[in-house]
Amino acid sequence: MSVADGQAAQIDPHGLERLLYPLHWLVFRDGWRRGRKLLRFAETEADGGRDLARAAELTGDALLRRLYLRHAEDEQRHAELFRRRGRSLLSSLSAPGSSTFEANWLAPGERGLDDLRVDAETDGTLLAFLHLSERAAAERFAVYERVLASDPDTRRVFAEILRDEAFHMNYTHAQLKRVCPSGYKKRLFWARATRLWKGYLRIATALASLIGAVVLLLQYVVLLPLFAWLAKRSALREPAGFVARGEKPASLTGQYG
């Protein structure tokens, strides 16, 4: 364990995350949702681990390569911890939950390298992005750990992972300063701006899908019954049976009417 590992317990979620405590508590209250979220977190962690292994292959810096490899191993271990706990939690529940809502936009876990293309980044831009991403993950996990008082086993998993996330957050910052001693603030600024833009896109997409669902629901509940009623009303005015419209009825007595 490095000095940075020991700072894990110091993670304090920022104001907004603290304000959202009640919402996070609601999201994690349901056992089925909690179990499914842990499995989803496992996938994200494993994805992050693969990206970091790729970053280790690409960097020309020997120290960074070692750190990325350790980081990749940590993320794989987190994936395993989440997977194991998620499975054990789900298998301990009796009746399957009815809701499939996971509130991933509110409680996404660790986003890792997200949709960043590792191959296209320099050591500096990658470290800046990683630092912000790890810091956000550490703050989120600190919140999840605090709202999980009713589930000590899951809480322990978050507490264990949180220690690693704090190390990731600290080493990426220290390495960014080493790799870009004069430009690290600029790198952080652009990484923050990119994250904000992606966050905006995520919220806009979630909002668009919500509005789409509401509009479809309104069509189904309001417009469809209205059209059904109009169709029924006009059907009542129609004479029964087959009637050829606009033509004189054919004579039944003569060939030419």
Interface residues with Fe ion (CB under 5 A) are 45, 75, 78, 110, 134, 165, 168
> What is the end-to-end Cα distance of the chain in Å, rounded?
106
Instruction: Provide, rounded to whole angstroms, the least separation between the CB of residue 222 and Fe ion.
Output: 46
Instruction: Provide, rounded to whole angstroms, the least separation between the CB of residue 2 and Fe ion.
Output: 15
Q: Of all residues in the chain, what percent are helix, strand and coil, respectively (each to 5)?
A: 75, 0, 25
Q: Which is nearer to Fe ion, 29 or 84 (CB)?
A: 84
Instruction: Provide, rounded to whole angstroms, the least separation between the CB of residue 154 and Fe ion.
Output: 15
CB of 105 closer than 8 Å to CB of 202: yes
Q: Which is nearer to Fe ion, 17 or 30 (CB)?
A: 17
Q: Which is nearer to Fe ion, 5 or 29 (CB)?
A: 5
| Cβ contacts of 25-32, under 8 Å, gap ≥ 24 | 25/147, 27/102, 27/103, 27/106, 27/107, 28/107, 28/144, 28/147, 28/148, 28/151, 29/150, 30/97, 30/99, 31/89, 31/93, 31/97, 31/151, 32/90, 32/93, 32/96, 32/97, 32/99
Q: Which is nearer to Fe ion, 171 or 184 (CB)?
A: 171
Q: Which is nearer to Fe ion, 32 or 50 (CB)?
A: 50
Beta-carbon contacts of 143 under 8 Å, excluding residues fewer than 6 positions away, are 13, 17, 18, 20, 21, 24
Tokens of 81: 């911890």
160 membership: H or E segment, kind and range: helix 152-179
Instruction: Provide, rounded to whole angstroms, the least separation between the CB of residue 161 and Fe ion.
Output: 6
CB of 156 closer than 8 Å to CB of 148: no
Instruction: Provide, rounded to whole angstroms, the least separation between the CB of residue 184 and Fe ion.
Output: 20
Tokens of 104: 């991933």
Distance between CA atoms of 151 and 39, rounded to whole angstroms?
A: 16
Instruction: Provide, rounded to whole angstroms, the least separation between the CB of residue 191 and Fe ion.
Output: 15
Q: Which is nearer to Fe ion, 110 or 139 (CB)?
A: 110
Q: Which is nearer to Fe ion, 85 or 168 (CB)?
A: 168
Instruction: Provide, rounded to whole angstroms, the least separation between the CB of residue 142 and Fe ion.
Output: 13
